[in-house]
Structure 1
């Protein structure tokens, strides 16, 4: 749950430029968090070298891949339905091969391959480079599987193909895996231990995006704040590094500073942060650079210290509030968003009230809120009884959502009458005469098109707002162009 799951993007099938000479068709769908969508770009890049072009026509595909998520039960059920659909098509097109990628792959490998026989290959998040070999196995009539988790793999040497891109914003992965054993989360078991990517390969990828006129990059990881490059290897093994490796190591604040300085006309965001690893040095980098956005996604999960302990979160309510105070002091006006789980095992009414009072203290700009659902394979799934009744979970969730709605409106109102810098990303959903983009604080801004075009940085005078959107009029180009 440390990862943002955008509902409107679920199940998108990916399309990229057709490579001349490629004759095979790949249909690839993604579910879950942004890391999964980013991984699909890596997979498409690897398979483009194997003669595959993407298609959005399921019926004509030679290979169908679904990139899966184990974070929420809903995603898992959806993927099962999709696999049924693929297999119905397979009856018409028997040469078609079906594969499962990503986080569900490791956990359900034997179920999918042996018991239910609904897929031909199963590939875990660290084994995408093995896809050409696995496909060979499948073509020779054997089931193929590789879900081995790696201590080294970061895909730093693969330039991802940008899929379904607006051509303006892009995600660049900087870490893989996670060392935080939160009891509700499957990520350490499905994506392995945390390792960081070589900073030079990150800067190289951003340089290519810059050359292709991308204007904004989000540095991506399960836990970006604990980024640490010391020549390769797991984060947890840093204490065994040589003195030279330790002296030349690059942490997240340094990486963020390097990217902001190297590309002054690009805007930078990052996600996701973990409160226990958020260092003050990162806040000073955000404050120092105009092109690092004033926005931090800072999942808290609960406002109750007792529940945080049950979740194995490495921070208390008070420590989180101190961090919020620090953010407000160093970056005045910084937008902060949350992840929140209601109805975690043993949560009492008092714990729930602690969550609401923490929300009142922070007044988040927006949030991602869920009722707890037990995930197989997690510590909570194994050791804790899911003892909060469903209707209580739902009622508490509704109270959290209602309060967030109120705070979101409070936060957007502060921009009315102000001029904000907006990067134009796309046409407004409601009108083809308006542009839509985001300000530094990650709030959507809509304004009349006039002479401006996609990819421009524009100053917009805000005249009105809803709880999620700012409405205004352009007053000129910003000096980021």
Structure 2
């Protein structure tokens, strides 16, 4: 995962004319930091602004409206935002000096939620601050700003309001994702891990009603989407209202999604070990559409450190859980998250983490050195680990994880995997798709198969991707 994901969104046909800001089309640039949920939120921000005549552009220099959709998880996240805001301020001043109009600047997402007032004070160039639950208010806030520079902060709204703002027409015409799409089903977290800001920036756990999720999924399938990734800060805690009016589960939602014609693949991220229920494990055995790749963070392999993190599960519970999942789905590939150098972590604690990794074996993982987040309990804990010690541990852990990932990819050589082709490759007629295990697969002479799921023989595997060839090119 990278610190920054920029995803310009394609202009939709038939965009509604501007409703009062200006007669000419406006240009929108959204820079997205962090996770897939922020990518999803950025796409929805583009959706709610489209009726005002805003069409996406791929560079801020030509934009009339720039949104920084921020993430508070990574180290120095706010400082990166302020640095970007300084550049945008200068860019706007140059536009005005050239007589090329102005530029409205907004900060959205988790940094906006956590530091809204401070952002406005520290960088007066910011016109709007919008928390992650309030992007559906962007048209109203933008109109106010354009007319009178009135109310500029919109951070305190219930999650259901932003999803209610997604009308059926808007869903049907949302920006094109190609054959894959993200679909947010749950937001917030009630776990309060001591290192994490999510409960403070995204709020309590809340799940969308199953009917709303299914309606959006059907609209995506009608537009050619073959694979959806269900998103949530704690997605397997999903308990949205089901058809009977009672709370559903992620497993029941998966069964319903698997019935949608054309929707062939279902993924979900990110999960918590304590919410990996029996019915969800059983669904992995029952549903071919539910992909055999599970991102299930553990964070550490030491019981003592897990208690300090307030993870509410021990190492053996996690190891046993992985065994149960693999019994239900023997080909299941596991991905994880790890934090090294957590306050109080000893050499023995770190060795326990390495031991857990060796027992589980991972097909992929994200690993980081612990960095304090202001306002979280861990930030003031005793026993902060020296940076040099933490980095040395990280390098050792990553060497082991990379070895396992490379071995997993190499083990696919000679197998035939169904690949969903998503985009063209760098070379003529090359196409890139995803295996059931989320590996990138490069295949020659396959550019005519975009959007299709095709059997591919894997001829080699490297650390980050696979190379393959079409099983029977003469019949495809």
TM-score by length of 1: 0.90
In structure 1, which of residues 196, 201, 206 is the aligned counterpart of residue 207 of structure 2? 196
SS of residue in 2 equivalent to 1:73 = coil
In structure 1, which of residues 98, 101, 104 is the aligned counterpart of residue 111 of structure 2? 104
Aligned to 1:16: 11
Distance 1:451 1:144, change over 3 A: closer
Aligned to 1:384: 381
Aligned to 1:70: 72
SS of residue in 2 equivalent to 1:286 = helix
For residues 263 and 248 of structure 2, what CA distance do their matches in structure 1 show?
A: 23
For residues 81 and 361 of structure 1, what CA distance do their matches in structure 2 show?
A: 43
Which deviates more from structure 2 when the two are superposed, residues 59-68 or residues 190-199?
Answer: 59-68
SS of residue in 2 equivalent to 1:119 = coil
For residues 118 and 416 of structure 1, what CA distance do their matches in structure 2 show?
A: 54
1:420 aligns with 2:413: no
CA deviation vs aligned residue, 1:436-473 (integer Å, no higher than 9, x gap): 11111112222222574101111111222112222221
For residues 198 and 220 of structure 1, what CA distance do their matches in structure 2 show?
A: 14
- Equivalent positions of 1:347-426 (< 5 A) are 347-381=345-379, 383-385=380-382, 387-426=384-423
Aligned to 1:240: none
Number of residue equivalences: 458
Aligned to 2:163: 155
Distance 1:112 1:68, change over 3 A: same
Distance 1:368 1:156, change over 3 A: farther
Aligned to 1:443: 439
Cα drift, residue 342 of structure 1 = 0.7
SS of residue in 2 equivalent to 1:49 = helix
Cα drift, residue 146 of structure 1 = 1.5
Which deviates more from structure 2 when the two are superposed, residues 142-151 or residues 271-280?
Answer: 142-151
Aligned to 1:218: 229
Aligned to 1:32: 34
Aligned to 1:239: none
For residues 121 and 469 of structure 2, what CA distance do their matches in structure 1 show?
A: 59
For residues 141 and 452 of structure 1, what CA distance do their matches in structure 2 show?
A: 50
- Equivalent positions of 1:112-127 (< 5 A) are 112-127=119-134
For residues 383 and 62 of structure 2, what CA distance do their matches in structure 1 show?
A: 44
Q: Quick check: 1:300–1:339 contact (8 Å CA) kept in 2?
A: yes
For residues 327 and 83 of structure 2, what CA distance do their matches in structure 1 show?
A: 49
In structure 1, which of residues 284, 290, 293 is the aligned counterpart of residue 291 of structure 2? 293
Q: Quick check: 1:149–1:191 contact (8 Å CA) kept in 2?
A: no
For residues 311 and 341 of structure 1, what CA distance do their matches in structure 2 show?
A: 10
Q: Quick check: 1:154–1:196 contact (8 Å CA) kept in 2?
A: no
Distance 1:118 1:378, change over 3 A: farther
SS of residue in 2 equivalent to 1:291 = coil
Aligned to 1:236: none
SS of residue in 2 equivalent to 1:290 = coil
Q: Quick check: 1:275–1:320 contact (8 Å CA) kept in 2?
A: yes
Cα drift, residue 256 of structure 1 = 0.6
Cα drift, residue 98 of structure 1 = 0.9
Aligned to 1:318: 316
Cα drift, residue 359 of structure 1 = 0.4
For residues 327 and 49 of structure 2, what CA distance do their matches in structure 1 show?
A: 48
Q: Considering only aligned residues, what root-mean-square deviation do their CA atoms show, in Å? A: 2.3
Q: Quick check: 2:226–2:262 contact (8 Å CA) kept in 1?
A: no
In structure 2, which of residues 169, 174, 184 is the aligned counterpart of residue 173 of structure 1? 184
Q: Quick check: 1:125–1:149 contact (8 Å CA) kept in 2?
A: no
**Structure 2: which 5+ residue stretches go unaligned?**
19-24, 97-101
Which deviates more from structure 2 when the two are superposed, residues 171-180 or residues 129-138?
Answer: 129-138
Distance 1:56 1:262, change over 3 A: closer
Distance 1:62 1:384, change over 3 A: same
Which deviates more from structure 2 when the two are superposed, residues 144-153 or residues 412-421?
Answer: 144-153
Cα drift, residue 26 of structure 1 = 1.8
Aligned to 1:459: 455
SS of residue in 2 equivalent to 1:315 = coil
**Structure 1: which 5+ residue stretches go unaligned?**
233-243
For residues 215 and 32 of structure 1, what CA distance do their matches in structure 2 show?
A: 24
- Relative contact order higher in (CA < 8 Å, ≥ 6 apart): 1
